[in-house]
Amino acid sequence: MKKSLVLLCLFSVVAACATESARKPAAPDAYEKVLDNGLKVLVKPDTRAPIVVSQIWYKVGGSYEPDGKTGVSHVLEHMMFKGTSTTAPNEFSRIISALGGQENAFTGRDYTAYFQTLEKSHLETAFKLESGRMHDLVFDTAEFEKEVEVVKEERRSRTDDSPEAVTYERFMAAAYKESSYRNPIVGWPSDLEAMRVEDLKSWYSSYYAPNNATLVVVGDVEPVEVFELAEKYFGGIPARDIPGIVDRGERPQSASRRIEVRAPAKVPYLLLGYHVPVIATTNNMEDWTPYALEVAAYLLDGGKSARLHSELVRKQGIASSTGVSYDPLARKATIFLFSANPSQGETVAAVESAIKEQIRIMSEETVSDEELERVKAQIVAGKVYQQDSSFYQGMRLGLLETNGLAWQLGEEIHHRLRAVTAEQVREVVKRYLRESNSTVAVLTPESDAEG
Amino acid sequence: MVQMRVNCLLFLLLATVGAEARAFSQIQHWITDNGARVYFVETHQIPMVQFVVGFDAGSARDPAYLKGLSNIVKGMVEEGTSSMDGDMISTSFDSVGAEYSSGSGRDIALFELRSLSEEAILDGAIDVFGEVISEPSFPEDAMERVRQRVLIGLKRREQSPGSVASRVFYNRLYQDHPYSHSPLGEEQTVSQISRQDLVDFHEEFYVGANAVLVIVGDLSPEQARIRAGQIVDGLPRGANPSPIPEVRGLNESVVLSVSFPSSQTHLLMGQAGIARNDPDYFPLYVGNHILGGNGLISRLATDIREERGLAYSVYSTFSPMKEPGPFIVNLQTRSDQAELAEGLSMETVRQFVEQGPDQDELEAAKSNIIGGFPLRVSSNGKIADNVLGIAFYGLPLNHLATFSERIKDVSLEQVKGAFQRRVLPGKFLRVRVGSG
């Protein structure tokens, strides 16, 4: 359950079947080389299978976009499959496919990333194609006009026709007043309507440059050989000045906020969120705040023995499902978010009270050693399980680097999580999960709303 | 999430391809004293191990008047045993960082445990896992809660046009066949399920003769045998269930339109497809890859999305099951262009069936499927999914080792012939859900 909202935030060029869920902290153990043009290359050998995952991460995403241009990062991601001066539209995909490869791309709040997974001998082809579209993308107006329609369809199916997704979108816009995290990654409908191919060209020439990217390779490869290949294909692309952005923060919230969303739904839904810092905004690895918040998220929602499921679902029977999401790796201050569907015959208000009662308890009483140890066992095991996916090992490195942290912090973060004390958890819950810092969004099914 | 897991599993079973003997020459197989079939793949690179138990106890085994029973049994086993309540069970797993999950589809009910391979940790988790599967106590209070959760799940599904379209499609296509209803069941039948029904269902289907166990990970063969015993020895031998009824397809084209307050119309077009052991499996698999199985570059994606921008998601898929699962063409588009998209995609299918693929398309598809084999067995998790497919559908142990050859052998004529025999656009069921 935990983290499901993080996945909801990603928009991909091809609808993908997520066979693996995001895992807990990994142990980045990678080799780094920075090319003269500023491209950072990270290589993590994983010799279990004769495959290689190649990912390129650009430091641009939904949160970089100014008002009126929301969604431009994601539409550009789609256009990246439309060819260069030497490749036709979709030829990239055809070549990778003929090699037995898989490829896709995804846009988040803080990044745009492209990846290929291939039998290991084909890494060079991936580099050749990926480096081409880093600097030589073709913007054909007719292709753009079709593709922006595809994106509008994507928005319709993933947001507009999903009452809970609409509620999430409305929630974010209510919880943030200033931060660009208030905007949906896919873009507001009116911005998509107004978008022109020139917007994409200018976005591309601003942010797609080697010095604004991280190339991550995980697989059965020799780091030195990967560095040579990277130099060969990416080394000749000149660095460029990357525009600074007006990156508004969010001023402290002084009073609770509440919205209602009415939609043709069947089941009510609650979102309850609190503004919280993240590792990147605490500016200091010594600050234990984000780690304590992450441990709090586990205590509340790490498995069915955690407090929300155990109390609200099993004991009280008040909620049919509950979840918590918190992303300590975000680039900017984010939201510690609770989500729930009430049980049959129960109200959203009752669920909200029950969650707040759990928060009150955690802010007043320290958790037992046994409970804390249980969470630490999950964190330790999760780190091992993550090694089973080359893709997520790469994802972890790319995220850390792209979101303004250093990839080397992966191991450090793991240690810090394990060092969190019961008193620190109590303190962050008391400090951040308080009424005046809260935003509530309630989804009221429209048939109910009529009555 | 669990439902997704099962869908993905089916997807993987479908996509299971090719063979690099490396991992799979080493599937070790044995049958326990009580008849459970065990499949073990030894991998030591990561100190973890995965156990998957599958029973032929999906919703196809629900009695017609108790649709949804299999799903409730699946959800209830972790809510209490003779010696533990649900909280104690969850705590046993969570306190050692083990991850328990379960899922059910039309054919299978499956239970999965992922754990660190350290002996002391496994000692704690395995016994509980075995007890959950073989000795659930089905406490009444938990049962009401799980029933309510399913009822909410059924309602929640009705707020998604895609889920409604799928429900309507299966209901009409399979009619009185047990594949007709959703594994979640229906409101009325779920409300009627009693505790005794759970006990009876468990007693009949959760038995050694009806179980497969897949183990992948960091154990020696001796350890794997001991752990397998701890998991399944508590099951009575029982018997294999009788075959599920034959599927009768539609004899004529049927069109169903359902009004739904959404901006898009969801279109599902198709028919009864193939069973997992169908002799046309390989040509149909390769052919569908070309028609609508391969991302942005399939014929359907090219015609609907790339050339016209009509849809984000458009694909076709076979879902081979014990009995013929459906063949479905699926797309969503703004309601005012649904008719256009439906006509175009039907035309794409018709043309493909009539003319078959060309040689270049066939070669490209085969090289993708064969070349992509290493990706499909590159992790413990993926190996476990593939081996579960072999185990559950009774495929030969060398299935993966011979798969690439069989793909390679598929000819143009075979693809064309198989599609002409098996895909009949003139008898498609077409379901439209939206505001159009």
How is residue B80 annotated by DSSP?
Answer: B
Do B2-232 and B254-434 come out as alike in CATH topology? yes
Of A342, A334, A236, A354, the residue nearest A282 (C-alpha): A334
Cβ proximity of A106 and A58 under 8 Å: no
Q: Cβ distance A80 to A114 under 8 Å?
A: yes
Give the number of C-alpha atoms closer than 13 A to the C-alpha of residue A153, restricted to the C-beta side: 31
Domain B2-232 in CATH 3.40.50.2300? The answer is no
Helices (H), B356-409: 359-371, 373-376, 380-392, 399-408
Q: Give the pLDDT confidence of A306-328 residue by residue, as tens digits.
A: 999 999 999 999 999 999 999 99
Is A17–B8 a contact, with Cβ atoms under 8 angstroms apart? yes
Q: Which of B48, B95, B297 sits opposite A388 (nearest CB)?
A: B48
How many whole angstroms separate alpha carbon B172 and alpha carbon B175?
5
Sequence-distant (≥ 6) Cβ neighbours of residue A290 within 8 angstroms = A276, A277, A278, A279, A282, A328
DSSP B278: -
Inter-residue contact A53 to A391 (CB < 8 Å): yes
**Least CB–CB distance from A90: residue in B4, B7, B297:** B297
Interface A:B, Cβ pairs < 8 A: 218
Residue A203 one-letter amino acid: W
Flag whether residue A161 sits within 8 Å of chain B, measured between CB atoms. yes
Burial (CB < 10 A; 0-12, 13-18, 19+), residue A189, is middle
| A4–B contact, CB cutoff 8 A | yes
Q: Which pLDDT value is given to residue B366?
A: 97
**Are the beta carbons of B366 and B32 closer than 8 angstroms?**
no
**Residue of chain B nearest A378, judged by CA positions:** B97
Closest residue by Cα to residue B372 from A85, A195, A102, A368? A102
Residue with the bigger pLDDT between A436 and B400: it is A436
Interface contact B140, partner A, CB < 8 A: no
Rg (CA), chain B: 22
Instruction: Give the Cα separation of A415 and A291 in Å (integer).
Output: 10
Token pair 């990062």 is found at A73
**Chain B residue with minimal CA distance to A309?**
B87
A387: distance to nearest CA of chain B, Å? 7
Residue ranges of the domains in chain A? 4-234, 257-450
A378 contacts on B by Cβ (under 8 Å): 94, 97
To the nearest whole angstrom, how far is the Cα of A243 from the nearest Cα of chain B?
A: 32
Q: Is A50 on the interface with B (CB under 8 A)?
A: yes
pLDDT tens, residue by residue, B153-187: 999 999 999 999 999 999 999 999 999 999 999 99
pLDDT of residue A247: 82
**Which residues of chain A make contact with B378, given a CB cutoff of 8 A?**
48-49, 51, 390
* Closest-CA residue of chain A to B99: A303
| Per-residue exposure over B104-128, b if at least 16 CB sit within 10 Å of its own CB, e if not | bbbbbbbbbbbbbbbeebbebbbeb
Residue matched to tokens 């510690």: A336
Phi, psi angles (nearest 5°) of residue A288: -85, 0
DSSP B373: H
pTM of the model: 0.93
Place of tokens 């009150």: A360
- Cβ–Cβ gap A51/B364 under 8 Å: no
Q: How far is CA A450 from CA A166, A445, A447, in A?
A: 19, 9, 5
Residues of B in contact with A445 (CB under 8 A): 159
Does the pLDDT value for residue B108 go beyond 50? yes
Contacts of B305 in chain A (CB under 8 A): 150
Say how far apart CA A167 and CA A159 lie, in whole Å. 9
Q: For A94, which of B142, B297, B311 is closest by C-beta distance?
A: B297
ipTM for this model:
0.92
State how far the Cα of A263 lies from the Cα of A160, in Å rounded to an integer. Answer: 10
Residue of B378, B383, B400, B403 to mutate, interface with A, max A Cβ within 10 Å: B378
Question: Secondary structure of chain A in the HEC alphabet?
Answer: CCCHHHHHCCEECCCCCCCCCCCCCCCCCCEEEECCCCCEEEEEECCCCCEEEEEEEECCCHHHCCCCCCCHHHHHHHHCCCCECCCCCCHHHHHHHHCCCEEEEEECCCCEEEEEEEEHHHHHHHHHHHHHHHHCECCCHHHHHHHHHHHHHHHHHHHHCCHHHHHHHHHHHHHCCCCHHHCCCCCCHHHHHHCCHHHHHHHHHHHCCHHHEEEEEEECCCHHHHHHHHHHHHCCCCCCCCCCCCCCCCCCCCCCEEEEEEECCCCCEEEEEEEECCHHHHCCCCCCHHHHHHHHHHHHHCCCCCHHHHHHHHHCCCEEEEEEECCCCCCCCEEEEEEEEECCCCCHHHHHHHHHHHHHHHHHCCCCHHHHHHHHHHHHHHHHHHCCCHHHHHHHHHHHHHCCCCCCHHHHHHHHHHHCCHHHHHHHHHHHCCHHHEEEEEEEEHHHHHC
- Dihedral angle sign, alpha carbons of residues B270, B275, B276, B278: negative
Interior angle at CA B371, CA B368 and CA B373, nearest 5: 105
* Lateral strand order in the sheet of A438-445: A257-263, A438-445, A269-276, A334-342, A319-325
Tokens of A209: 């440059």
Q: What is the dihedral of CA A358, A362, A368, A369, to 10 degrees?
A: 120
Q: Which residues of A are catalytic?
A: 77
* Rounded-to-integer distance, Cα B14 and Cα A74, Å: 31
Could you tell me which chain A residue has the CA closest to the CA of B310? A150
Dihedral sign of CA atoms A354, A357, A363, A365 in order: negative
For chain A, say whether B420 makes contact (Cβ under 8 Å). no
Contacts of B407 in chain A (CB under 8 A): none
A245 in contact with B at a CB cutoff of 8 Å? no
**A320 and chain B in contact, CB less than 8 A:** yes
Q: What is each CA distance from B215 to A444, B120, B328, in whole angstroms?
A: 45, 18, 33
B84 contacts: CB under 8 Å, gap ≥ 6: B92, B128, B131
Residue A320 to residue B148, Cβ atoms within 8 A? yes
CATH 3.40.605.10 is held by the domain A257-450: no
Q: How far apart are CA A216 and CA A55, in angstroms?
A: 5
- B368: nearest CB among A97, A163, A374: A97
Looking at the predicted structure, is the pLDDT value of residue B40 above 70?
yes
Given 3-state DSSP classes, what are the helix, strand and coil percentages for chain B, each rounded to the nearest 5? 50, 20, 30
Mutate one of A95, A96, A161 to test the B interface: name it (highest B CB count within 10 A). A161
CA distance A144 to A140: 6
**Which residue has better confidence, B311 or B24?**
B311
Q: Contact B148/A343, CB-based, under 8 Å?
A: yes
What pLDDT is attached to residue A14?
Answer: 58
Residues in chain B: 436
Q: Identity (one letter) of the amino acid at A256? A: S
Query: Which residues of chain A does B307 touch, with a Cβ-Cβ cutoff of 8 Å?
Result: 146
For residue B162, what is the nearest residue in chain A, using CA coordinates? Answer: A157
Asked if B97 lies within 8 A of A381 by C-beta distance, the reply is yes
Question: Which positions in chain A touch B376 (Cβ < 8 Å)?
Answer: none
Predicted confidence at residue A248, as pLDDT, reads 85
Cα(A358)–Cα(A350) distance, integer angstroms: 13
CA distance B226 to chain A (A): 23
Q: How confident is the model at residue B400 (pLDDT cuts 50, 70, 90)?
A: confident
Candidates A18, A160, A388; nearest CB to B4: A18
- Topology alike, domains A4-234 and A257-450: yes
Q: Within an 8 Å CB–CB cutoff, is residue B2 touching chain A? A: no
Give me the tens of pLDDT residue by residue for chain A, a chain 451 residues long: 343 333 334 556 655 433 333 333 444 479 999 999 999 999 999 999 999 999 999 999 999 999 999 999 999 999 999 999 999 999 999 999 999 999 999 999 999 999 999 999 999 999 999 999 999 999 999 999 999 999 999 999 999 999 999 999 999 999 999 999 999 999 999 999 999 999 999 999 999 999 999 999 999 999 999 999 999 999 999 999 999 887 888 999 999 999 999 999 999 999 999 999 999 999 766 799 999 999 999 999 999 999 999 999 999 999 999 999 999 999 999 999 999 999 999 999 999 999 999 999 999 999 999 999 999 999 999 999 999 999 999 999 999 999 989 998 888 999 999 999 999 999 999 999 999 999 999 999 987 444 3
Asked if the C-beta of A267 comes within 8 angstroms of chain B's C-beta atoms, the answer is yes
pLDDT at residue A11, rounded to an integer? 59
Contacts of A267 in chain B (CB under 8 A): 152, 155-156, 159
pLDDT in tens, B262-291: 999 999 999 999 999 999 999 999 999 999
Question: Does residue B22 surpass a pLDDT of 50?
Answer: no
Residue A10: the pLDDT is 54
- d(C-alpha A211, C-alpha A241), whole Å: 9
CB contact under 8 A, B156 and A382: no
B369 interaction partners in chain A (CB closer than 8 Å): 100
Which residues have a Cβ under 8 Å from the Cβ of A70 and sit 6 or more positions away?
A62, A183, A184, A187, A188, A191
In this complex, do B381 and A20 lie within 8 Å of one another by their Cβ atoms?
yes
Three-state secondary structure call for residue B275? strand
Q: Could B264 and A20 be called an inter-chain contact, meaning their C-beta atoms sit closer than 8 Å?
A: no
Q: Cβ distance A127 to A225 under 8 Å?
A: no
Contact A89 B381 (CB under 8 A): no
Tell me the average pLDDT across B59-67.
97
Contact between chains at B309 and A119 (C-beta distance less than 8 A) = no
Q: Rounded to whole angstroms, how far apart are CA atoms B294 and B364?
A: 11
Q: How would you class A238 by CB atoms within 10 Å of its CB: exposed for 0-12, middle for 13-18, buried for 19 or more?
A: exposed
CATH number listed for the domain at residues A4-234 = 3.30.830.10
Distance CA B156, CA B149 (A): 10
Cβ proximity of B215 and B227 under 8 Å: yes
The total number of residues written for chain A in this structure: 451
Asked if the C-beta of A102 comes within 8 angstroms of chain B's C-beta atoms, the answer is yes
d(CA A280, CA A297): 18
Structural domain B254-434, CATH architecture: 2-Layer Sandwich (3.30)
Q: Which residue of A has its CA nearest to B368?
A: A100
Strands B211-217 and B37-42 turn out to be: parallel
Where are the domains positioned within chain B?
A: 2-232, 254-434
* B378 and chain A in contact, CB less than 8 A: yes
Q: What is the pLDDT of residue B436?
A: 67
Cross-chain residue pair B312–A380, CB shorter than 8 Å: no
Say whether pLDDT at B140 is over 50.
yes
